[in-house]
Amino acid sequence: MTIQTAVLIETLTALGAEVRWCSCNIFSTQDHAAAAIARDSAAVFAWKGETLQEYWWCTERALDWGPTGGPDLIVDDGGDATLLIHEGVKAEEVYEKTGQLPDPSSTDNAEFQIVLTIIRDGLKADPKKYTRMKERLVGVSEETTTGVKRLYQMQANGTLLFPAINVNDSVTKSKFDNLYGCRHSLPDGLMRATDVMIAGKVAVVCGYGDVGKGCAAALKQAGARVIVTEIDPICALQALMEGLQVLTLGDVVSEADIFVTTTGNKDIIMVNHMRKMKNNAIVCNIGHFDNEIDMLGLENYPGVKRITIKPQTDRWVFPETNTGIIVLAEGRLMNLGCATGHPSFVMSCSFTNQVIAQLELWKEKATGKYEKKVYVLPKHLDEKVAALHLGKLGANLTKLTKDQADYISVPIEGPYKPPHYRY
């Protein structure tokens, strides 16, 4: 819930929507933005520094339209709202057949225990709450790589309950928000949290997708010596061609000053890695969930001492060496926890895609165009989003002649690239 999402809410409201909003991250809310929107435009359930219990309570409240059902559409970021509905429907089906309630102790994941507790407690009061939501929902548009992965997994398993538009893989999202947004907001978060001089430092970027590319570029431009870890040989070769080293985390864990996870995967930096890091090495995540960094292992390490330097900046001291590491935003998104996320212009590209996706789902709700599958916005809309942002930067596009357009077999007005084109 940032200034940028506030403008998105105002846009949706101006289009006629009734909006209920929550944050996608316990640290990302800008309270002044939330207060302004709560006063003027929408119901907001978000504040900076939520506990996990509060975070999931806020998610549940944002979805709650009372006994009549739930939302018609969801704008999701990370897939947590979508997850809650799917898990709720699953639990209601089991409860109807067997009378069995969800058991939070059935999982070791502390956050999922909270989800199951919320669903269990809700079942007692309303055993069809999420089923009604599912039946009412027209669809969801998903913002992030992580949330999109969840959607494709549900589609593959045959469990996706409503149509979904993958906003993340619009070129004007992934190649701008993920790349240029992170290039801006990673160093912003680092410097606000630590005031460290990046020049001369050894920085490790775990992952070299679009997010990793933006982070590595920012660190390199600031004068860091950048090392990339990768599983994908194509991404690794791209990093090498940019003049970066590609090594394993084990190769460099005791040498580097700054570690950034960008993978969207789990168990990237483990507590045994952190024990070997130099004193006051900085560890942070800009991927999505906090499981990229082994925060549970760090918190439970025998004798470890946590010293809070300031909000979202903690020094963890290991007893055997009396040396420590600095972890930002408790392993969650550091650019949102320690700074204010991506700047407005690049988020305008992303949120224009979100608005278009919402309009598309609503417009086609009765046509059967969108089934219970994951879709990507067509290329002509992607190009339209880009075109809308050119004037602000003073661009003047060259126009194709009819003869030129015929020569390369594209319409004069676009789209100019095939769907499979890699920008």
Binding site feature residues for substrate = 2, 77, 143, 173, 177
Is there a cis peptide before residue 415, judged by omega within 30 degrees of 0? yes
Tokens coding 138: 């027209």
Nearest by Cα to 122 from 94, 71, 93, 88: 88
Burial of residue 399 (CB within 10 Å: 0-12, 13-18, 19+) is exposed
- 144, 173 contact by CB (below 8 A): no
d(CA 190, CA 197): 9
Beta strands 258-261 and 73-76: pairing type?
unpaired
d(CA 256, CA 277): 7
DSSP readout, 123-150?
HHH-TTHHHHHHHH--EEEE-SHHHHHH
d(CA 245, CA 226): 7
Collapsed DSSP state (helix, strand, coil) of residue 115: helix
CA torsion through residues 245, 250, 251, 252, sign: positive
d(CA 201, CA 192): 17
Annotated binding site: 2, 77, 143-146, 173, 177, 209-214, 230, 286-288, 335, 342
Length of the chain: 423
- 305, 351 contact by CB (below 8 A): no
Cα-Cα-Cα-Cα torsion 190, 196, 202, 207, nearest 10 degrees, comes to 0
List C-alpha distances in Å: 374 to 76, 144, 154. 14, 13, 9
Annotated binding site for NAD(+): 144-146, 209-214, 230, 286-288, 335, 342
d(CA 114, CA 117): 5
- 95, 122 contact by CB (below 8 A): no
Nearest by Cα to 140 from 89, 90, 84: 84
